[in-house]
Structure 1
Amino acid sequence: MHGPITVHSDHRTLLRDGTPFFWLADTCWSAFTNITDEEWDHYLDRRAEQGFTVLQLNTLTQWDRCGAPRTRHPFATEDGIRYDFTRPDPAYFAHAQAMCRRAVDKGFTLALVVMWCNYVPDTWASHIFPDNVLPEELVEPVVRTVCETFREFNPVWIVSGDTDFKSEAARTRYRQVTELVEQYGPGLPKAYHICGRSADLPDWFADHADFYLYQSGHNRAGQDCTFTLAEQFAARTPRRPVINSEPCYEQMGFSHKEYGRFRRSDTRRALWQSLLAGASAGITYGAHGVWNWQRDNAPAQQLIRHPGEEPVHFGEGFLRALSWDKALTFPGAADYAFARRFWLERAPALPEPCQEILAAYTPQVRAARWGQEIVIYLPVNAPLPLQGDWSGYTAEALDLSGAGTRAPVSLDVQADGTTRLGMHPFYEDALLILRANPRA
């Protein structure tokens, strides 16, 4: 089992067992409730083969998971929805502990959410479904149980899940949870998973975090958050490593049931825009069907009826996912694994954003100095003007669509003093890599 993740003295790099560590996570939020032992072993083998290093899991029930009825529950329940928090199920926590043991034996670091926002008063999720807000007097025993169950695995404690901090009630509760985690799971790194497209992490929580997580999310109109939030968190005080811990998921439908799904090219764009804009400590991948553990014949939602009450829909609300075994084969996972290899080849150097070299400011194009190289993510094939004379450099394009093909790119100094990077020959997005010519 690996030791706990620590933070390098540069305040930007994560370390594991003393060496630079790239956070390549997969979101499998509902693992402890929805997955059979055989499925879990298959999942671990597959993600290990692909090079993933971190698993983001929810310690309690993921409120918006697939609505499949065969699930395990951490607390006594009569309807599979509402919990009696005074009656934790020891078998649930023992089984989750056994699942974690198999995961760390495979080399994974676990990033465990302590309390998703639906259990917390006055958050966006508890407004939708208020029946499972954890009573204040039960916060301490629940957090203690979570920490005592999982602390032996050296996890990252993700204190909050998909939360906003807009109300004093929510902030007070998460301050309480943070202090309890520090008491019952000491010496382990902490972070906060906040809601999509938000940089709202109050100063108290920033001071208690070891690194910053943000969520660029699943709203089609909000995809520029991949780089705008990276820039905001990278500039924040205190300085911390930054990770986009929930970009758009491959094959997930757009938020608010807007027609369409995010494809491989969308998830790849989110990846490179995040890394080169300041979220340089790693990246999280998500496959729609894996995070919620969808099965072919299982409903995406459950409809729960109680006498005298309106029916309650419980489950995830996006376009229906393909089954978990199909989602586990989505090709975008390979793009994220490639990014980890690219990062490790250049470690300990990290990308330093340098948008100022672009003569025509196009924010979707991201430029960074990375050691001795300039790395530019070009989402659309077009000539790219650079500030100044780059005739002392050579440039090549790396095809990101899966083939890994490389091709030279022309650099032509213009009469106005700028340099024109020519078009590369590839059909989709590419990395442009500029290196100083040793003969110049």
Structure 2
Amino acid sequence: MNYFMKLRATSLQVLCAALFILSHHAYGQLPRLKVSDNQRFLVTEQGDPFFWLADTAWELFHRCDREEAIYYLDKRASQGFNVVQAVTLAEIDGLQDPNPYGHVPLEGLDPTKPVEAYFEHVDFVIQEAAKRGIYIALLPTWGDKVFKNSWGEGPEVFTVDNAYLYGKWLGTRYRMHTNIIWVIGGDRNPRENTKDAEIWDQLARGVEEGAGGKDRALMTFHPQPAKPGGSSNWFHHADWLDFNMHQTGHCPNQATYRIIAHDYGLMPTKPTIDGEPLYEDHPNCFNAKELGHSIPDDIRRIMYWNVFAGAFGQTYGCHAVWQMYTPDRKPINAPLRPWKVALDLPMAHQVKHLKNLMLSRPFLNRIPAQELVVSSQEDDNTFVAATKDRDGHYVMLYFPSGKPVSVDLSSLSSEQITLTWFDPRTGNAYTEGSIRRNTNHRLVPPTTGPVGHDWVAILDTK
């Protein structure tokens, strides 16, 4: 059967079981996540594949009241998102500007004195997310609380000592919540000849201890755009870092697949993901006047490139949504519309097609397969990316503009191959027919053009 059709893919013991059920009822029924045995993906504690499809909602805890948070979570759950990235000590003056209920997160700007009322609201949002099948990628703080650099409100409040204590308090508070993924950092790269890296390291170790150990604290680090890797530049060998995260930034014309490929090739092997790509409706390269704002084609291209290059999932972002922009708030970098309206931008509805596509085939055996494209290519917006499974049962190729290429199909497991064209804009697909395995087959997508003509070729063996 064509895989595409599967898209709609003793008394003490009793006491322990009862306690387990009660705790899961209180904190959400989601299974914990862990790194797969081959160190390339995330899976549930039962071993089921987990495709990370995240939305960026940095200001969710800080700017949304309970009704707004539920509205947001309901919308994103309906659109297929399963992760939301949010910050406890938020970016936009998160230490001194109160949340909708008048609470700031820290007493006297002291990380060792968290304010209970503020974190009760955070508790509520995390629990509501779990009810909707959503994991929270939880940042303990935005990076400006470690150092402001040239932007951010700060103030700088963290030291090596209090970072550990704050992390331990936070890890302890959420140790029973099964829907948390810990994200250290927050748009800051550790500076040389400072204690930055040590502060982040101690924060991570505090979280891990408070959460009850490494197997209860799945963790990464969110950097600024960096080369050659992302979090790997500083923490690849840290035992607390379970997977690498990139911020590939907010320009549309970057070869992001090469950034993902760098960390994919590192040893020891760790999963990798783009945790902050170009946002939808974002000023391109922060220059709206000359370069305009991003469009859905830019977002799709980056997402499919990254996943086909080896990422275990992909984060989406919308420029108005991350800051929860409303007309009565000071805009940051020219958002185009209020956040509730922006929740329904085209890519917010299209991203689920990527998740569904990848989970429609055996997922944990998937590898990058760029060597299959034998045509000469440039690092531009026409670059065709390829992925396959190790056993040669399928190949997928992403065509950003419908440009034909020649491919080597000799590694597939059967002489007869079914070619299906998948539309990433709609999630629809149609089978073109059968082709024979050979070393130089020319693939011609159904349409071609710079905008609105991207396609995925799916090659399944019989």
Q: TM-score surpassing 0.5?
A: yes
Task: Establish whether residue 385 from structure 1 lines up as the match of residue 398 from structure 2.
Answer: no
Shift of the 68–424 alpha-carbon distance from structure 1 to 2, 3 Å rule, reads farther
Pairwise CA distance, 1:53: 1.1
| Segment drifting more, 386-395 vs 240-249 | 386-395
2:168 aligned residue: 144
- 1:310 is aligned to none
- Please report how far the alpha carbon of residue 231 of structure 1 lies from its aligned counterpart in structure 2 after TM superposition: 0.4
Q: CA deviation at 1:23?
A: 1.1
> What CA deviation, in whole Å up to 9, does each residue of 1:92-128 have, x standing for no partner?
111111221111122211110123211114xxx4343
CA contact (8 A) 1:411 1:420 kept: no
Assess if the C-alpha contact under 8 Å between 2:385 and 2:397 holds in 1.
yes
**In the superposition, relative to structure 1, how do residues 204 and 358 fare at CA in structure 2: closer, same or farther (>3 Å)?**
closer
2:258 matches 1:228 = yes
Q: Which one of 80, 83, 88 corresponds to residue 59 of structure 1?
A: 88
Do the aligned partners of residues 327 and 409 (structure 1) sit closer, same or farther apart at CA in structure 2, a change above 3 Å counting? farther
**Residue number among 243, 246, 267 corresponding to 2:299 in the alignment:** 267
Which one-letter code corresponds to 1:249 in the other structure?
A: Y
CA distance in 2, matches of 1:403, 1:347: 18
TM-score (norm 1): 0.84
C-alpha separation in 1, matches of 2:153 and 2:98:
21
Match in the other structure for 2:457: 432
Partners of 1:380 and 1:392 lie apart in 2 by 27
Question: Is 1:340 paired with 2:355?
Answer: yes
Is the 2:207–2:217 Cα contact (8 Å) retained in structure 1? no
- Deviation digits for residues 129-168 of structure 1 (CA, Å, limit 9, x no counterpart): 4751114253344323332333331311111112212324
State the match for 2:421 in structure 1: 397
Note the C-alpha offset of 1:373. Answer: 1.3
Tell me whether 1:420 sits opposite 2:448 in the alignment. Answer: no
Q: Could you tell me how far apart the structure 2 residues matched to 1:352 and 1:84 are?
A: 46
Structure (1/2) with the larger strand percentage: 1
Pick aligned residue for 1:94 from 120, 136, 155: 120
Where 2:329 maps in the other structure, the secondary structure is coil
Contact 1:276/1:366, CA 8 A, preserved across alignment: yes
Aligned length: 407
RMSD: 2.9
Does structure 1 residue 299 correspond to structure 2 residue 330? yes
Secondary structure (helix, strand or coil) at the match of 1:159 reads: strand
1:7 pairs with 2:40: no
Stretch deviating more after TM superposition (140-149 or 389-398): 389-398
Q: Please give the per-residue CA displacement for 1:195-216, whole angstroms capped at 9, x wherever unaligned.
A: 1244142464543211111121
Which amino acid is 2:31 matched to? G
- Name the % identity: 25
Give the equivalent residue in structure 2 for 1:320: 335
Q: Is the 8 A contact 1:165 1:202 kept in 2?
A: no
Are 2:358 and 1:376 aligned? no
Runs of at least 4 residues off by over 6 Å: 67-70, 388-391, 409-414
What amino acid is aligned across from residue 246 of structure 1 in structure 2? E
Letter in 2 for 1:382: K
Q: Which amino acid letter does the alignment assign opposite residue 134 of structure 1?
A: V
- TM-score computed with the length of structure 2 as normaliser: 0.80
Which deviates further from its counterpart, 89-98 or 200-209? 200-209
Amino acid at match of 1:108: I
Matching of residue 170 in structure 1 with residue 196 in structure 2 = yes
* Cα pair distance change 1:403/1:240, threshold 3 Å: closer
Residue 235 of structure 1 and its aligned partner are, at CA, apart by 0.6
| Aligned equivalents of 2:186, 2:110: Cα separation in 1 | 21
1:389-421 deviation line (CA, Å, top 9, x unaligned): 79854433222222624362897999xx73322
Structure 1 residue 43, shift from structure 2 partner? 1.2
- In structure 2, the partner of 1:365 is 384
The Cα offsets for residues 417-436 of structure 1, whole Å up to 9 and x where unpaired, read as 73322242365100011234
1:132 aligns with 2:155: yes
Q: 1:319 to 1:130 in 2, by over 3 A?
A: closer
Distance 1:157 1:413, change over 3 A: closer
Q: What amino acid sits opposite 1:404 in the alignment?
A: N
